[in-house]
Amino acid sequence: MSVSQLAAKKPKMAEEIKHLPMIVPLPLPEEQLKEIVEKSKDWALMHGAAMRSKTQFSEDALFFAPFVLIPSAFPRKEFAKALEIQLILNELMHKVAHDRRFLTESLKETIKVDEFTGNLFRIYETVLGEGLTQRTTLGLLRSDYMVNASSTDKIKQVEINTIASSFGGIGTNITVFHRYILQELGHSDMLKNLPENNALEGLCSGMIEAWKIYGKPEAVIMFLIEDITYNICDQRFHEFKIREMCPQVRVIRRTLTDMAERASLGPKKQLLIDECEVGVIYFRAGYEPGHYHSQKEWDARLLMERSLAIKSPSIHYHLAGTKKVQQTLAKPGALDQFLNDPSKVEKVKQIFAGLYSLDFDELGEQAIQMAIDDPERFVLKPQREGGGNNVYGLEVRDAVKKMKDSEERTAWILMERIHPPLSTGYMVRPGGSKAPQLVDMVSELGIFGVVIGDAEKITYNKQVGHMLRTKVATANEGGVAAGLGALDSPYLID
Comparing CB distances to ligand ADP, the nearer of 12 and 243 is 12
Which helix H or strand E contains 373, and what residues bound it? helix 362-373
When asked if residue 234 is in the footprint of ligand ADP (CB under 6 A), the reply is no
483 is a site residue for ligand ADP (CB under 6 A)? no
Contact string (CB under 6 A) for ligand ADP, positions 126-165, x = contact: ------------------x-------------xx------
Task: Determine the distance from the C-alpha atom of residue 466 to the mean position of all C-alpha atoms in its chain, rounded to a whole number.
Answer: 11
Least distance from ligand ADP to the Cβ atom of residue 476, Å: 6
The one catalytic residue in 305, 385, 416, 444 is: 385
Q: Which of 381, 384, 397, 409 is catalytic?
A: 381
Can residue 198 be called a binding residue for ligand ADP (CB under 6 A)?
Answer: no
Nearer to ligand ADP, 271 or 415 (CB): 415
Instruction: Please say if 159 is a catalytic residue.
Output: yes
3-state secondary structure of 271: strand
Cβ proximity of 30 and 435 under 8 Å: yes
Which of 72, 106, 148, 166 is the catalytic position?
166
Residue 279 or 478: the one with the smaller Cβ distance to ligand ADP is 478
The contact mask relative to ligand ADP for 408-437 (x = CB under 6 A, - = no) is -------x-xx-------------------
Rounded to the nearest angstrom, the gap between the alpha carbon of residue 317 and the centroid of all alpha carbons in its chain is 13
Polymer length in residues for the chain: 494
Long-range contacts of 243-250 (CB under 8 A, 24+ apart): 245/201, 245/204, 245/205, 245/208, 246/208, 246/211, 248/217, 249/208, 249/211, 249/220, 249/221, 250/220, 250/221, 250/276
Q: Does 91 bind ligand ADP (CB under 6 A)?
A: no
Query: Does 202 contact ligand ADP by CB under 6 A?
Result: no
Of 52, 81, 95, 142, which is the active-site residue?
142
Whether residue 142 lies in the annotated active site: yes
Helix (H) or strand (E) holding 30, with range, is: helix 30-46
Its sign, for the CA torsion 275, 277, 283, 284, is negative
Q: Rounded to the nearest whole angstrom, what is the least distance from the CB of residue 417 to ligand ADP in the complex?
A: 4
The one catalytic residue among 118, 386, 387, 483:
386
A 10 A CB-CB count for 200 gives: 25
In the bound state with ligand ADP, the residue whose beta carbon lies nearer, of 168 and 453, is 168
Q: Should residue 308 be labelled a site residue for ligand ADP when binding is judged by CB under 6 A?
A: no
Of 249, 227, 165, 231, the residue nearest 200 (C-alpha)? 165
x/- mask, ligand ADP, residues 377-406, rule CB under 6 A, reads --x-x---xxx-xx----------------
Residue 286 annotated in active site: no
478 binds ligand ADP (CB under 6 A): yes
Binding mask 326-355 for ligand ADP (x = CB under 6 A): ---------------------------x--
User: Is 182 or 320 the residue whose CB approaches ligand ADP more closely?
Assistant: 320
Q: Which phi and psi (to 5°) does residue 72 adopt?
A: -90, 145
Decide: helix, strand or coil at residue 343: helix
166 labelled catalytic: yes
d(C-alpha 265, C-alpha 298), whole Å: 16
Provide, rounded to whole angstroms, the least separation between the CB of residue 443 and ligand ADP: 10
Three-state SS string across 288-324, please?
A: CHHHCCCHHHHHHHHHHHHCCCEEECCHHHHHHCCHH
Question: What sign does the dihedral 280-284-288-291 (CA atoms) show?
Answer: negative
Please state, in angstroms and as integers, the Cα–Cα distance from residue 119 to each residue in 73, 318, 446, following that order. Answer: 42, 12, 28
User: Which residue, 71, 64, 37, is CA-closest to 437?
Assistant: 37
CB of 385 to ligand ADP, least distance (A): 4
Q: Where are the alpha helices (DSSP H) in 55-114?
A: 76-97, 100-107, 110-113
Residue of 91, 109, 159, 239 with catalytic role: 159
Judged by beta carbon, residue 167 or residue 211, the one nearer ligand ADP is 167
CB of 291 to ligand ADP, least distance (A): 14
Q: Give the one residue of 444, 463, 468, 470 binding ligand ADP; rule: CB under 6 A.
A: 444
Q: CA 289, CA 300: separation in Å to the nearest integer?
A: 14
386 part of the active site: yes
**Residues marked as catalytic:** 142, 159, 161, 166, 323, 381, 385-386, 469
Contact residues for ligand ADP, defined by CB under 6 A: 144, 158-159, 353, 379, 381, 385-387, 389-390, 415, 417-418, 444, 477-478
